[in-house]
Structure 1
Amino acid sequence: MTLLELRTARVRYGPLEALHGVSLAAPGPGLTVLLGRNGSGRTTVLRALAGTVALSGGAVVWDGTDVTRLPAHERARRGLCFVPDRRAVFGTLTVRENLELAHAGGDFSPALDAYPELRPLLGRRAGTLSGGEQRMLALSRALLAGARVVLVDEPAQGMSPTVASRTYDLLRDLPACVVVAEQRLPPGVGGRGDRAAVVYELRRGEVAFAGEAGELPAGGHTTSPA
């Protein structure tokens, strides 16, 4: 089992503190959902786990080892894949070339099985795709990476409801620790038992809720608008 943790993590952007001592644990295999409105700190949590922002306090712990000072490329080398909400594909390369980069062996058929919508687009430059198509491509690359930890910021952004539902089925079935950031709890992610998602809701850089998806009230939020 993989376990990725933040322990009383603090992150500053200049004079502003974005995370105020956030602690959370994401088990794997399994799905952890970070909920929060814009400015809540959910994207910063992903970046802190990925190593693309530095902590000003606290620690990042991976399988019991403190990796706080480990740079992002070393975390990637150890099996962490981060899919940001923007610039997640190589826009000047074709869809095929993007997929080939994700799998040196050249067999990217699992990605096309997951997202057959990409098959007729293999020769297109990624930068010319729609937002939803780019998300499919970015996630396809993550599926091919064989990562131990997968971090995704708004995975279903720009997708149709059908493709979004398929995307969450794919993420939930990965043999990895999967952490996603969303504004609201995605449909179909609730439930209890072995497949229940772990949910953390952030508000103003602090954890406002921690528990299973099925424990959230209707609407997928525990807090009122600021």
Structure 2
Amino acid sequence: MTTVSLRQARVRYGPLEALHGVTLAAPGPGLTVLLGRNGSGRTTALRALAGTVPLADGAVVWDGTDVTRMPAFERARRGMCLVPERQAVFGSLTVRENLDLAAPDHGTALDAYPQLRPLLERRAGTLSGGEQRMLALSRALLARARVVLVDEPAQGMSPAVAARTYELLTALEACVVVAEQRLPPALRERTARGGRVALVYELRRGAVVFAGEAGELTR
């Protein structure tokens, strides 16, 4: 089991404070959802966990170890994978080359998203938004990371592919944290069927306003 958490985390962009002492914990294997509108701080919280933005105060703790000062590349080396909302793939490389960078044997990724098979020789920058998300998530699946952080995983996808994406994420034996504007329909349905419980933190203006299970939010 692994856990990644923010403890009284504050993040500033110049004079503006984006996170106001946020505390949250994401255990794994399992799914944690950071909900909030644009400007709520959900993306900043994800980046703070990954180390791509520095904390002005507070701490990032990973499996009981304070990694606040650990650079993002070192966190990645130790098993943390971030899939940002934008620029998550290498646009000048082909789909095949993007997958090769993650793992030479990428059959698992193509089984997860068979829609990518006919696109292997296409440059990633020419793909649609949904196709790029599939490619970015495929690379994350191949990484076999201990912690997977994804900003809006189903953006641009059809409802069926979005549901498939959440099936893949919830099945990972990893600590998975996703940032979304609202609770995805696939998770609402999964919760109603008694599937693996997802933890939810709702952020508003840089502060946590709700923390609990997905089922509590849907009632």
Same fold (TM over 0.5): yes
138, 149, 170: which is aligned to 1:140?
Answer: 138
Tell me whether 1:206 sits opposite 2:213 in the alignment: no
> Scaled by the length of structure 2, what TM-score is found?
0.97
| AA at the equivalent of 1:2 | T
| AA at the equivalent of 1:189 | L
Give the gaps of 5 or more residues in structure 2: none
| AA at the equivalent of 1:195 | R
1:160 aligned partner: 158
RMSD: 1.0
1:221 aligned partner: none
Give the gaps of 5 or more residues in structure 1: 219-226
CA shift, 1:194, in A, is: 6.7
Q: Which deviations, in whole Å up to 9, do the C-alpha atoms of 1:58-101 show, x marking residues without a partner?
A: 00000000000000000000000000000000000000000000
Separation of aligned partners in 1, 2:198 and 2:57: 28
How many residue pairs get matched? 216
Q: Which deviations, in whole Å up to 9, do the C-alpha atoms of 1:157-187 show, x marking residues without a partner?
A: 0000000000000000000000000000001
Q: Does the 8 Å CA contact 1:189/1:196 hold for their aligned counterparts?
A: no
Give the alignment of 1:85-96 within 5 angstroms.
85-96=85-96
168, 171, 175: which is aligned to 1:170?
Answer: 168
Runs of 4+ in 1 over 4 A off after TM superposition: none
Separation of aligned partners in 2, 1:217 and 1:18: 27
> Any idea what SS the aligned residue of 1:37 has?
coil
CA shift, 1:189, in A, is: 1.2
> Any idea what SS the aligned residue of 2:133 has?
helix
Separation of aligned partners in 1, 2:55 and 2:147: 19
Separation of aligned partners in 1, 2:30 and 2:158: 24
Separation of aligned partners in 2, 1:194 and 1:22: 28
Separation of aligned partners in 2, 1:121 and 1:88: 17
1:21 aligned partner: 21
